[in-house]
Structure 1
Amino acid sequence: MFGSLFYNFWAALLSFAVYFILAIQNPYAMPLRTIGASFVVAIIAFGAMFIVRYFLGYIFYTPEALVFSETENENSGTVMEDDNNQQFIPISDRTTTEFEEENTEDIAQVVRTMLHGDEALSQ
């Protein structure tokens, strides 16, 4: 079921207020009769909201586990076949020291280039 019980209370409160405002505009409206009818409308709206919440839950229901379990099994076979045909070395096969050394050298080169570029612009 979609939502919580608070949706039912909000629907009841809203329907009570709308019916009361519309009914009180009648110049011959009796106060107790109008309030009683407003409570009846609120109780009906409270019950009807269960049906609305169930319907919304039915609409928004998606069976995620069944759909994704089938596609994961199908995709894992194709990934394993592609691993043998790759030209590049995956990052997971490298050691962390190789990766860090490469990274620091590249970063240092970029910083040098930026510094020299800034000096050329300021002169």
Structure 2
Amino acid sequence: MPGGDQTGPLGLGPMTGRGLGYCVRYNTPGYANPRPRGFGRGFGWRRWGFVPIERTIPIQNIAVYPTQPQQLTKEQEITMLENDAKVVEAEQKALNQELEEIKKRIEELRKEK
């Protein structure tokens, strides 16, 4: 408990923290407490068996073959290029506006001198 008033972190009540204080029946608060030990706590006990088994992941041999790019029809290519042109024109318009704003700001700063 940060203030020792049994309210827990952020005043949310007991047993709402990381379990490092007196509330979990340890004699000392903080990192001096031992870690819990027992079955099922990362010791490799599978299905409560008592022989630790090394956990391995089999490597899958998957061959990926490159595929040929699909040929577009002339109509598909025209549509794609028209869409690309629209995007580039919109970007050009936005950049021109930004450039004009920068030039205006430069002129304002030169007049203030």
Give the TM-score normalised by structure 2: 0.32
**Higher RCO by CA contacts (8 Å cutoff, separation 6 or greater):** 1
Give the TM-score normalised by structure 1: 0.29
Structure with the larger helix share: 1
